[in-house]
Structures are given as structure tokens and as C-alpha cells.
């Protein structure tokens, strides 16, 4: 696994928009925050291009801009401005060969799961599941999401303790963690970005889905063999789930627990990451230690892996 160098004061972070666009004034709080942390931000007017639909320019335009960031050896990390949709449309237009020579952290979540999965599968490179500029509206704010993103980029240990859940299946395991947004994982099945989950901890989260869609996606993972060889399953926020007038009859958590019932790996619900304010950073592709008992849950990702 290629682990990009951790960031220090004065390092450069490239800013990209793989999908939906944002106006510059919407991004200023996040930019000011990172500059106050000692980082140099690199972007130009192409970041604010207004393309057709809701995209930050055409597919070719966005891919060319992102390619310039990937190829720049002076950039230590790349921060995606927001999720939404669009990464899948351009991922196959990108060449990561120069980035493999000068590895850098790709940071974001939700739609950015496409990058997490693609870089893990095709480049064996670690990435950072983290808060994005769209989530930062006050440059003076220091919440858990921001603090853990900064800690992760700087190579510090990520140790999270949080309440147990009645559907948790206790166990202790250490393995690389992969995954991200469940809908995106489902959408890349069969592509060259598809994840090999054997022997790994799978992390999933989702937003604004119907319960029967959650059931369908989980059975896709099961039927395609993605659950059978897992070392563990971590379920983050399942936010704003929907039901039909004729109720499905199970919560999203119950659907996932039922789908995994025949396996013996640890299962953890309510991990603090995903589409809520408490969105703690995860170094995707790096080992995570799970310690789950009936009474408590702790996860640890050690720091200083390549100082």
C-alpha cells in the first residue's frame, strides 16, 4: 500500500471539483481555515467553471483541470470541494501514473468514494475519507470533523470511542479499511474501480435512500461475494432514510444486520462518519484496529506510518 507523505506547515493542497460546482464565496471559510493551519492552497478560475447541468464544467474540462493537480509534484494533497455526483463520469479519463511517482492524499467523501475505490484497486494508494469545503461555513470553527481531518493529514493517531449499538456483533480485528458511500460502491460493481474486500474491513454509509434500495444494495454485496471474506463491517451514518406507503418493515440497520447474519466477522453500527456533522476522518486503505465489546467500541488507526 502506497501511503502519501503526511503534511507539514507550508505544504500545498490542490483544490478540485470532480462533480458539482460551487461559487468562490461559498468556499472562502474552508480556504481561510486551511491557510490559518499553515497550508498553501492551489487552484485557479477553472475551479468555478459553470458547465451544463450542475457540473463544474464539462467532463473533459474537469478532467483536464484535475489532471494538472494529479501531475503536480509540488502538491501534497488534493481536497475535493463537495460530493453530489460526477466523479464516475471522469475517473476513466484520468491518468494516475505521475501521482504514483509523487503520491498525494485525495480527501473527501460521498461521491469521492469513486476516487477512494479506484486508487485502492488500481494504484494501491491510501486516501482520506474526510469532511470537505462544502461542510465548512465558519473559518473559526474547530469541530471533530475538522480536527480529525487535520490530524489524519498530519500523521497523528486516529482513536475513536463511541457508544455501542444493540445490533453490533462484538469482536477484535485489525485489517485495512476500504469502502465509503454504499450507493457509490454499488454503482462501481463490475468496473475496474470495483473493490476487493477479502480480508478487509468494509466501511459503508449513505444518505437519502429508500429502505428497499438499502436491501437491494446489501444483497448485491452479498451475491457478488463482497461480504463473505470480510474481516469486519463498519456502518457509519445512515441519514434521512425513506420508506414507502407500504412499509418495508425493517430499519436500515436491521436490513444490514440481517444480510450479515450468517457471517462471523465483527459488525459495528453508528460509526461517526458520513452525512452528519460528526464526520470523522478515516485513512482508507490503511490498517484499522477494531475493539468491539457488548459495552464499548473503539477503533484505532496508528499514526506516523511514513514519517
Chain region(s) in the chain for CATH 3.40.50.10740: 12-153
158-301: which CATH topology?
Glucose Oxidase; domain 1 (3.50.30)
Query: Which residues does the chain have with pLDDT short of 50?
Result: 305-307
- pLDDT given for residue 281 in this prediction: 98
- Are 13 and 34 in contact by the 8 Å Cβ rule? The answer is yes
pLDDT for res 141: 81
Contact between 79 and 153 (Cβ < 8 Å): no
pLDDT of the residue at 307? 42
Predicted confidence at residue 139, as pLDDT, reads 82
pLDDT at 142: 85
Total-model pTM: 0.96
Instruction: Provide the CATH number for the domain formed by 12-153 in this structure.
Output: 3.40.50.10740
List, by residue range, all CATH 3.50.30.60 domains of the chain: 158-301
Residue with cell 500500500: 1
Amino acid at each position: 500500500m502506497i501511503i502519501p507523505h503526511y503534511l507539514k506547515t507550508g505544504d500545498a493542497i490542490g483544490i478540485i471539483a470532480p462533480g458539482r460546482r460551487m461559487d468562490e464565496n461559498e468556499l472562502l471559510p474552508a480556504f481561510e481555515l486551511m491557510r490559518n493551519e499553515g497550508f498553501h492552497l492551489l487552484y485557479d478560475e477553472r475551479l468555478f467553471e459553470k458547465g451544463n447541468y450542475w457540473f463544474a464544467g464539462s467532463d473533459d474540462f474537469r478532467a483536464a483541470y484535475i489532471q494538472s493537480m494529479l501531475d503536480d509534484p509540488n502538491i501534497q494533497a488534493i481536497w475535493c470541494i463537495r460530493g453530489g455526483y460526477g466523479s464516475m463520469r471522469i475517473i476513466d479519463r484520468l491518468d494516475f501514473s505521475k501521482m504514483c511517482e509523487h503520491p498525494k492524499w485525495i480527501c473527501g467523501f460521498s461521491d469521492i468514494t469513486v476516487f477512494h475505490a479506484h486508487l485502492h484497486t488500481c494504484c494501491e494508494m491510501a486516501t482520506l475519507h474526510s469532511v470537505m469545503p462544502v461542510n465548512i461555513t465558519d473559518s473559526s470553527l474547530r469541530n471533530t470533523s475538522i480536527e480529525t481531518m487535520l490530524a489524519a493529514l498530519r500523521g497523528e493517531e486516529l482513536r475513536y470511542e463511541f457508544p455501542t449499538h444493540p445490533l453490533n456483533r462484538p469482536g477484535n480485528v485489525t485489517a485495512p479499511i476500504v469502502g465509503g458511500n454504499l450507493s457509490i460502491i454499488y454503482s462501481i460493481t463490475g468496473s475496474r474501480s470495483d473493490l476487493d474486500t477479502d480480508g478487509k474491513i468494509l466501511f459503508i454509509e449513505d444518505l437519502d435512500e429508500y429502505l428497499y434500495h438499502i436491501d437491494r444494495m446489501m444483497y448485491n454485496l452479498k451475491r457478488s461475494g463482497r461480504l463473505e471474506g470480510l474481516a469486519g463491517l463498519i456502518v457509519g451514518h445512515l441519514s434521512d432514510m425513506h420508506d414507502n406507503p407500504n412499509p418495508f418493515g425493517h430499519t436500515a440497520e436491521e436490513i444490514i444486520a440481517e444480510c450479515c447474519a450468517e457471517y462471523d466477522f465483527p459488525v459495528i453500527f453508528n460509526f461517526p462518519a458520513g452525512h452528519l456533522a460528526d464526520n470523522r476522518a478515516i485513512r482508507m486503505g490503511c490498517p484499522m484496529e477494531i475493539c468491539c465489546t457488548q459495552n464499548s467500541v473503539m477503533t484505532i488507526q496508528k499514526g506516523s506510518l511514513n514519517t
